[in-house]
Every structure is written in structure tokens, then in C-alpha cells.
Amino acid sequence: MSAIPQVLTIAGSDSGGGAGIQADIKTFQELGVYSTSVITAVTSQNTLGVNAIYPMGREAVQSQLQAIGEDFQIAALKTGMLFNAEIIEETAYNISRFEWGIIVVDPVMIAKGGAHLLRQEAVAALKQHLLPLATVVTPNIPEAEVLCGMAIDDAMTRRKAAEKIISYGAESVVIKGGHGKDPYVTEDFYLNQSGECLLFRSARIDTTETHGTGCTFAAALTAEMAKGAGIKEAIYVAKQFIQAALTDGLHIGAGHGPTNHAAYKAGVSKREGENSVEIYG
């Protein structure tokens, strides 16, 4: 059996290379796991926005999942852009069929430029079929608001939203804080079924090079759990990974540029200080 953990990303392709399948594979490579992939849609996009979306048919998604399930030992997987209810249902069915155990659900809904990456009618399918299988769900604040049907504007509503998402059957949730109001600090809020909650706090990086941050965070979390890390340790590393990626910008494109997936391995987080991410119980 291979010594390198094998992981799977089920997501859309980003022609600009900053998010989706491309971001996931870069992150997996940097963190020392072997990536397989199932493409759910092909997007035509760059740092300025999404020009077009070409979803895969259900049969195409099923065929890819079948190929992975028959030949690879998947230690952990993440889902990203699933686009419609059919793809969500097929993904959930095959996760159960192949008994894949560590499931990171990144409920990708809206691109940085505002394009809708998940059809409205697919939200119900996500809650019904996929969230009950999730080890951890990683929405940003706008995505969490859609999933729980309420506004998140303070710590109390954030906690209530997390509890609502847990009620759908997920083992745990991390509500990412990039859309928060604090100009100096971002907080990622973790809650599990047992009621344990933690805050992962870091300095807000003043940059427009944020394309693919959600995909990258979820991919880093998946990689660390595939290697055997516990959920809290994995979140900590994923947070450090994205902090480094944001700190050491690539300056590519005229819009929301991609993050630097090579920065963490290059030691940027260490140069900026080991306490760049703080955990509060």
C-alpha cells in the first residue's frame, strides 16, 4: 500500500487556476498528499470574474467517482462547487457506496465576482443529502447565512447559525471569518455536535488577492486530516496555510488575484511569527 495518503477533490475547474480543482491540487501537493479529482463543471473565468459555467452531466460525474472508488484508497475528500441537485445526489450516493470516511464539505455558492456557483434549488439537496455525511462543513459567512436562513451579524447569531448547520447532521462546522466586520482580525468559529466551540483568530491581511481562499482552506484541512491530524489540529494548520498564502502575494491578474499556495511550505508563516494564528476556547 502506498505510504502517501490519497485524497479526492470533487469540484469545478477554474481556468484561471486560483480556485476549484486547480487550487485543491496545488494545496494537496504542497501538504504532501496525492490528489485524485472529479470535475463537476468547467468554468471560463479569470481574476475579473466568471464568464461561463459548463456543468458535467450526472453520468459523467458518476463515471469519474466510479473510477476513483474502484482503484484508490481515499483517506479523505472534499467537495467544492457541485452546481446542481443531481451532482449533489450522485456525490452523496457514491460517498456512502464507497464508504469514504473523512468528508470536508465546502458549500461553494458564489464566486468572488458574484457569479452563482450553486443553483438555488440545489441548497435543499445539499442540506438533505450531503451535510449529514460531513465530518466538517466550511462555509463563509454568506454561505452560512444561506444554509441556516438567518443573518449573521454578531457572535450570538454566528453560534446559532453553526448550531443550525449541525442540526442537519454534520459532525462539525467551521464558519470562516473572512467576511467579518473587524478590520484588523478574522475569526474562524468551530462548533461540533458535542457543543465544543473554538475560535481560530488571526490578523486580517489587507489584500485583494483572495481568489480561491475558501477552496484552499478546505483543501488544506482535508490534507491534514488525511495524514491523521485531529480536526482541531487540522484547522490550525489550514488557517496557517491560508495566512501564508495571503501574506506572500503573487500579484497576478487585474482583479481578485490568486493566493500563493507555495508560501506555507516556503516558511512564510514562520517568518511572520509562529503565533500568527491563536486559538481560544
Name residues whose C-beta falls within 8 Å of residue 160's C-beta, 6 or more positions apart in sequence: 148, 150
d(CA 238, CA 241): 5
Active site residue 43: no
Q: Which position among 16, 17, 214, 257 bears the catalytic label?
A: 214
Q: In angstroms, rounded to a whole number, what is the distance separating the alpha carbons of residues 231 and 142?
A: 23
Of residues 212, 216, 227, 259, which has the active-site annotation?
A: 212
Q: Is 215 a catalytic residue?
A: yes
Roughly how many angstroms between the first and final C-alpha of the chain, as a whole number? 39
Question: What letter does residue 37 receive in the DSSP assignment?
Answer: E
Among 26, 176, 227, 239, the one annotated catalytic: 176
Which string of b and e fits 169-197 if b means at least 16 CB within 10 Å? Answer: ebbbbbbbbbebeeeeebbbbbbbeeeeb
Nearest Cα to 218, choosing from 70, 82, 120, 127?
Answer: 82
Could you please report the per-residue DSSP string of 141-157?
HHHHHHHHTS---SHHH
- 176 is a catalytic site residue: yes
Strands 34-46 and 197-203: unpaired
Instruction: State the Rg of the chain over Cα.
Output: 17
Q: Which among 36, 210, 216, 222 is annotated as catalytic?
A: 210
Known catalytic residue at 197: no
* Catalytic choice (215, 222, 257, 259): 215
Measure the CA–CA gap between 17 and 39, rounded to whole angstroms: 14
270 is catalytic: no
Catalytic residues: 176, 210, 212-215
